[in-house]
Structure 1
């Protein structure tokens, strides 16, 4: 820690620990919600209408994110995060009570609600983090904070195994409890933006210069990043769909719950190893831009294998989803936060909210619409050859 840093070493460590725990809870709540949602939906409705569901969910999530952006005006990011997770806790309790009584309509609504949780909670988390770290300390802190994802993955696997046989109601109550805990942890985050320190005359001039740059060159830079986000999530929607097709073919509701939980736990272990052991050395060797290409590189390889090795479709589909899940949280997301740092604090919040709340869900919606023509006559799959070429083309565009 440099002497001229506005935050003491002990204060910095405390903030990193708080955000590490918070990110673990955010990811745990998200994965528990997705586990119970996917198990319920896939075991009852199948996958034949999943592309249209992707499209509808993406559009609705984008509208919900814009609405939330208007509602949170005038509130701090910390207060907004507390209110958001308290809302999710209450609504998941509502699903636990209403779902068994209504049935499929409730589970379809749950599918939508979990995606709203994913779009808003992760984006809101990084908004809170970005307000409290200077660019100089952020590069070191973000990797440690993002390691909380691995803890959340492993905890999801453990909880899924313990409560899978107790039904969807218990899973939803557990998800509500995690969301409530997330709201409480945010209370430990300082209200003031302690990591920035006092704004002196020199820092004021720096911010003014940053704003002028953002009006021109930085705006182009930010929209380029938004384009990368759009194509990335377009491809991940295709990878996610094929993964769910494979899981649906051979598992019932309880089997799906255990499978998804185990999958996320193994991903968490691998992501932790990547985050702590491999990535620090790899990023120094490759540099940030090349390290960011690891996930699309994996998509390119698996996308090409789908049409060229049809007999290995199941293994390749699982490998593609595994690479997406492990590399996105361990490498892609932390690096993407670093790439937002050249913007002013206000610009980072604005463009990151746009990326997570609007660009990402609209890209997923577009992915669903592009999947629809690939449906075969069979109710549980797509034209794997065409899907593989789509994934490879999207990955090549990112690279």
Structure 2
């Protein structure tokens, strides 16, 4: 008699998925995220290989290299630090532009515009790679970092328009799984194609997937309008309005947004420490661009396989049964334990395990939980404040900790991971603050006019 309940419990994820097979919005959203992450992950190994390159001439313009040599130092000694600094400065410069676009233009204009700009940039980089333009490596690294954060942030903001809180709890895990399949396909395509067609042509592959995203944006619009009309706030026909810098004010004023920013800051610090150690290993053991690209592609495949498993089997169930608390706190405690072990014994295998746990738990648990919270806040918070957190706070943390790693690494790997343990504790504290702050939110957002 005990067998039937056991079978029922194990079949729940599949039964729930079958119940949503007729949900067209879910399928368009999953295709959107699949195409977005496929396009990004085709390019991510290329970006990472450039960041780990020991050849500074392949990354920086000749004039920069000569300027540094005249002053007695090599730019190659500060490759990641300079690339992350450039990314952060670019984010700060683009924030007012994005704020203006969101404030002055309706969603039907600014969403396609964002992706249209990214496609145009990829075509420009294709030209630069084809002609071996000097400095293309640094520019491409910065562009991909900016593209990833803005494109993914806009995606989840749009999903918060399409789905309400209860619907989001049911489908966000599956939408995330669609993205994970794309994140697995992307590096697989890169590993298969890079030696056949070259790095430059991979940019055209990525651009074609972003074109699919534009189709999905248009097809999802009726569901976004329907949700707004049900809430008595049909705004798609006009711009959102407000200040172009309103996102900064909202993050400062609202406890939930401050807590999410705190969680993001320390979470990125943890990831940056691991990323820098990984780059050092790749630089040492993989000399040419193709080998490093394949190395990073294999790592991404392993992480995404675990992510997909958790998203399909656990994410939806945890969200509906317990809310966001476990999805935010479990990754914090797991990473805290992992860094504590690494500080005592920084073995290469253990480093790989902690890397897998850190990134897969972010994608399968932490991020879906954070994104459901945006379905319960007003639209200005969803687009403006979220963009500040996902771009400026994210890259500000990158910049802070990539330079911190440079200083701490001089003391050895154990010191790096001990410092990472403190960051993991900060990440866990931020998760706890988010769990507390979200309890005061209404189930549906109250729009402010």
TM-score class normalised by the smaller sequence: 0.7 to 0.9
Map 1:94-105 → 2, pairs under 5 A: 94-105=124-135
CA RMSD, Structure 1 to Structure 2 (Å): 2.8
Runs (4 or more) in structure 1 with deviation over 6 Å come to 9-12, 214-218
Equivalent residue for 1:229?
A: 264
Cα offset for 1:48? 4.4
The one of 195, 199, 205 aligned to 2:227:
195
Q: Structure 1: how far apart are the matches of 2:88 and 2:221? A: 33
Equivalent residue for 1:299?
A: 335
Q: Structure 2: how far apart are the matches of 1:248 and 1:47? A: 12
Check 1:268–1:386 CA distance in 2 against 1; reply closer, same or farther (3 A cut).
Answer: same
Taking structure 1 as the reference length, the TM-score comes to 0.85
Instruction: Give the gaps of 5 or more residues in structure 1.
Output: 1-8, 202-213, 377-381
Cα offset for 1:245? 1.8
Aligned to 1:116, what secondary structure does the other structure show?
helix
Map 1:50-65 → 2, pairs under 5 A: 50-65=80-95
Aligned to 2:377, what secondary structure does the other structure show?
coil
Map 1:1-399 → 2, pairs under 5 A: 13-43=23-53, 44-45=55-56, 48-166=78-196, 167-190=198-221, 193-199=225-231, 219-251=254-286, 252-283=288-319, 287-310=323-346, 312=347, 314-376=348-410, 383-399=412-428
Check 1:161–1:102 CA distance in 2 against 1; reply closer, same or farther (3 A cut).
Answer: closer
Taking structure 2 as the reference length, the TM-score comes to 0.76
Aligned to 1:126, what secondary structure does the other structure show?
helix
Report which of the two structures shows the higher radius of gyration computed on alpha carbons. Answer: 2
Instruction: Give the gaps of 5 or more residues in structure 2.
Output: 1-18, 57-75, 234-248, 429-449
Per-residue CA deviation, residues 299-357 of structure 1 (Å, 9 max, x unaligned), is: 222322333113x1x22332232223212221111100123343223333332122112
Q: Structure 2: how far apart are the matches of 1:94 and 1:217? A: 37
Q: Structure 1: how far apart are the matches of 2:22 and 2:32? A: 15
Q: Structure 2: how far apart are the matches of 1:138 and 1:259? A: 35
Aligned to 2:104, what secondary structure does the other structure show?
coil
Cα offset for 1:118? 1.2
Higher relative contact order (CA 8 A, sep 6+): 1
Aligned to 2:376, what secondary structure does the other structure show?
coil
Contact conserved, 2:250 with 2:257, CA < 8 A, in 1?
no
Q: Structure 1: how far apart are the matches of 2:164 and 2:301? A: 32
Contact conserved, 2:250 with 2:385, CA < 8 A, in 1?
no
